[in-house]
Amino acid sequence: MTIALNIVQEEQELKNKKRTSEGYRLVGNHSAVKVCAYCKKSVKDEDVCYKNTFYGIESWRCVQMSPTFFCDHRCVFCWRDIEYVWPKWQGQIDDPKDIVEDAIEAHVELMQGFKGNPKSVKEKLEGMEKPLHFAISLTGEPTMYPRLHEMIDYIKSKGMTAFLVTNGTIPNMVEKLLKHQPTQLYISVYGSNKEMHRRTANPITKDAWEKLQKSLSMLNKFKRNVMRLTLVKNYNFMDPEGYAELIEKYKPMFVEAKGYSFVGHSQKRLEVSNMPFHQEIMEFAKKIEENSSYKIVDSKIESKVVLLAREDFKDRKMNFDKV
pLDDT digits over 71-83, tens only?
999 888 887 776 6
Q: Mean pLDDT, the chain, as a whole number?
A: 90
CB atoms within 10 A of CB 285: 25
Bridge partners (DSSP) listed for residue 60 = none
Range(s) of the domain holding residue 71: 22-227
- Within a domain: residue 110? yes
- Within a domain: residue 291? no
In this model, does residue 104 exceed pLDDT 60? Answer: yes
In this model, does residue 4 exceed pLDDT 60? Answer: no
- DSSP class of residue 190 equals -
Q: Using CA atoms, how far apart are residues 101 and 131, in angstroms rounded to an integer?
A: 11
Q: Using CA atoms, how far apart are residues 111 and 96, in angstroms rounded to an integer?
A: 23
Contact 312/296 with Cβ under 8 angstroms? no
- Within a domain: residue 282? no
Q: Using CA atoms, how far apart are residues 135 and 61, in angstroms rounded to an integer?
A: 10
- Within a domain: residue 17? no
Q: Please name the residues in contact with 108: beta carbons below 8 A apart, sequence gap of 6 or more.
A: 128, 129, 131
- Within a domain: residue 168? yes
CB atoms within 10 A of CB 102: 19
Alpha-carbon torsion (47, 76, 187, 138), positive or negative: negative
Mean pLDDT of 7-32: 65
In this model, does residue 51 exceed pLDDT 70? Answer: yes
Greatest mean pLDDT among 2-16, 107-121, 251-265, 282-296: 282-296
pLDDT tens digit sequence for 163-191: 999 999 999 999 999 999 999 999 999 99
In this model, does residue 323 exceed pLDDT 60? Answer: no
- Within a domain: residue 290? no
Mean pLDDT of 101-128: 92
Instruction: Indicate the number of domains in the chain.
Output: 1
146: domain CATH number? 3.20.20.70
Confidence of residue 64 (pLDDT cuts 50, 70, 90): very high
- Within a domain: residue 102? yes
Mean pLDDT of 226-253: 97
Q: Please name the residues in contact with 283: beta carbons below 8 A apart, sequence gap of 6 or more.
A: none
- Within a domain: residue 135? yes
Bridge partners (DSSP) listed for residue 185 = 164, 225
Q: Please name the residues in contact with 2: beta carbons below 8 A apart, sequence gap of 6 or more.
A: none
In this model, does residue 18 exceed pLDDT 60? Answer: no
Mean pLDDT of 225-234: 97
Confidence of residue 12 (pLDDT cuts 50, 70, 90): low
pLDDT tens digit sequence for 245-259: 999 999 999 999 999
